[in-house]
Amino acid sequence: MEIESIGIVGAGQMGNGIAHVCALAGYDVIMSDVSQEALDNAVALIDRNLTRQVSREKISQADKDTAMGRISTTLTLADIGPTDLIIEAATERETVKQAIFEDLLPHIKPTTILTSNTSSISITRLASRTDRPEKFMGFHFMNPVPVMQLVELIRGIATDEPTFKACKSVVDRLGKTAATAEDFPAFIVNRILMPMINEAVYTLYEGVGNVTSIDMAMKLGTNHPMGPLELADFIGLDTCLAIMNVLHDGLADTKYRPCPLLTKYVEAGWLGRKTDRGFYDYRGEGDPVPTR
């Protein structure tokens, strides 16, 4: 089917980025959230990010104005039902995602494709709670969405070929590259990335190095643009922990056991940049200060 309109559930870090790139690619976008403040903040952030692209001559002012005109918002989940493609980008908790899809079902068209931006949760299991497992798949963008070129496309066990082709055509129109992943816990990127971050936390926990030395070692020793602890703060330590729990529970292998220090930081509410404290403290005016 031809996709022209996209509904996005969630106006957070991922949702607003997805809305940004979809509107810029010519799709009509409607973004839903339970918070009007979150919706207002998302639209303002998209506007700022598009303005930055104009200033860098990546797009024209007309492109920006047209893209902003394609974005609408709503507090009523049912309003996104008539769209051709729905991308769920809510918090990384399976019960929340299941509830969203159950609430959407009475309001969507027979042809609507349902997708989740989940970074780790079983697509097959999410799809099984809907009336269209064949029209359901994983649509995993990388953060920050406007910058990162990869999208993981994950088929559930029932996903049909027309659904895959329709989603692949969207990725192509966005100017991004699709990597096809099978539906196993955390797919490709996070199956590899999260254990590395978790091991960096273990290295900190066991006193092998401090925050500064661990991040410096990986940046200068392996040419990573960002150290693993700095990256964990950027992603959100709660998200990192949630993915490690999915890996540990889904694969039943002790090598995926979340580091107790990661759990402790999350329990303290030190979730990284979004709470101004994680492995670094971001509350000062200068450079972030390591917390260990």
**pLDDT value at residue 91:** 87
Is the pTM above the cut of 0.75?
yes
Tokens of 279: 């492995």
Q: Is 223 a catalytic residue?
A: no
Q: Which of 119, 120, 122, 198 is catalytic?
A: 119
Rounded CA separation 176/141 (Å): 10
Percent of the chain with pLDDT over 90: 97
Per the annotation, the verdict on 119 as an active-site residue is: yes
Per-residue pLDDT of 186-237, as tens digits, reads 999 999 999 999 999 999 999 999 999 999 999 999 999 999 999 999 999 9
Report whether pLDDT(79) > 90.
yes
* Contact between residue 64 and residue 57 where contact means Cβ atoms under 8 Å apart: no
Q: Which of 16, 20, 122, 152 is catalytic?
A: 152
Q: Is 233 annotated as a binding residue?
A: no
Query: For residue 229, what pLDDT is reported?
Result: 98
Q: Which of 117, 190, 198, 230 is catalytic?
A: 190
- For residues 238-264, give the mean pLDDT: 96
206 included as an active-site residue = no
User: pLDDT averaged over the chain?
Assistant: 96
Provide the percentage of residues in the chain whose pLDDT is more than 70.
100
pLDDT at 192: 97
- pLDDT number for residue 1: 75
What confidence category does residue 72 fall into, taking pLDDT thresholds of 50, 70 and 90? very high
CA distances from 22 to 68, 73, 208 (A): 11, 14, 44
**Residue 152 is among the residues annotated as catalytic for this protein:** yes
**Does the pLDDT of residue 135 top 80, yes or no?**
yes
pLDDT at 169 exceeding the cut of 80: yes
